[in-house]
A and B are shown apart, each in its own frame.
Chain A
Amino acid sequence: DSGVTQTPKHLITATGQRVTLRCSPRSGDLSVYWYQQSLDQGLQFLIQYYNGEERAKGNILERFSAQQFPDLHSELNLSSLELGDSALYFCASSVEGQPTGELFFGEGSRLTVL
């Protein structure tokens, strides 16, 4: 158990819909990272938050947004969903503000868009 909690574990929805994925980092970790893993694909970096502030942005679509709340949990909002958004979305956390130490991954949220 990494200490990172992601909900829901599985989510099935239709094209055009909106979903919210939630992540609670390890106790004491200030950074939260979101990664997308499509079938047989690598881990695509989406966005990072550190202590409530956006720290780094990757290839995140405009239809996607995220935030980190004062209690340090984070939410990834995906809207106007398309078939291609079907993927496993991982959240990871770390103590530091920069990804130069171990990232602790959650179990992921598997999104299926029909």
Chain B
Amino acid sequence: GENVEQHPSTLSVQEGDSAVIKCTYSDSASNYFPWYKQELGKRPQLIIDIRSNVGEKKDQRIAVTLNKTAKHFSLHITETQPEDSAVYFCAASIGGAQKLVFGQGTRLTINP
């Protein structure tokens, strides 16, 4: 299949708390899983990515975990800050890495 499901569609957390966004994919051959952040009125930008030979990757306050058996991956943001407010998209390479399919996005709001 070519679906990437992303949950939740909206997420509101208090500043300083953690946020978790989850995605599932259906193509067992998928091997590349990036996360993009899109601020209001701006273009999507890559914030972190993970490949299928790695289970977890961290970059300061953000981390991504991958469970290939279950075909799901998650984005974790710790110590959230107001500037983390944005729409976050997960994606997965499918069809033998021929296409990058995005999830529907999660609108994250950080409340001060």
Q: Which A residues lie at the B interface, using CB under 8 A?
A: 2, 33, 35, 41-45, 48, 55-56, 58, 90, 98-103, 105-108
| Shortest beta-carbon contacts, A-B, top 3 | A99-B100, A105-B43, A43-B102
- Which of B32, B49, B97, B100 has the most CB atoms of chain A within a 10 A radius of its CB? B100
Measured in the bound complex, the distance between the Cα atoms of B91 and A39 in whole Å is 19
In the complex, 15 of the A-B residue pairs with CB atoms within 8 angstroms, ordered by the A residue number, are A43-B44, A45-B101, A58-B99, A58-B101, A90-B44, A98-B93, A99-B97, A100-B31, A100-B51, A100-B93, A100-B97, A102-B49, A103-B46, A105-B44, A106-B43
**In the complex, A72→B17 CA distance in Å?**
45
Determine if B45 is an interface residue (Cβ-Cβ < 8 Å).
yes
Shortest CB–CB separation between residue B56 and chain A, in angstroms?
Answer: 19
Known: A42-B89, A56-B95. A103 touches B104 (CB 8 A): no
- How many angstroms from the CA of A107 to the CA of B104 in the assembled complex? 19
Q: How many residues on B have C-beta within 8 angstroms of the other chain's C-beta atoms?
A: 24
Seen from chain B, the residues whose Cβ lies within 8 Å of a Cβ on chain A are 6, 31-32, 34, 42-46, 49, 51, 89, 91, 93, 95, 97-105
Chain A nearest CB, measured from B77 CB (Å): 19
Q: Would A56 and B43 count as touching, CB distance under 8 A?
A: no
Cα-based distance from A90 to B45 in the complex (angstroms)? 12
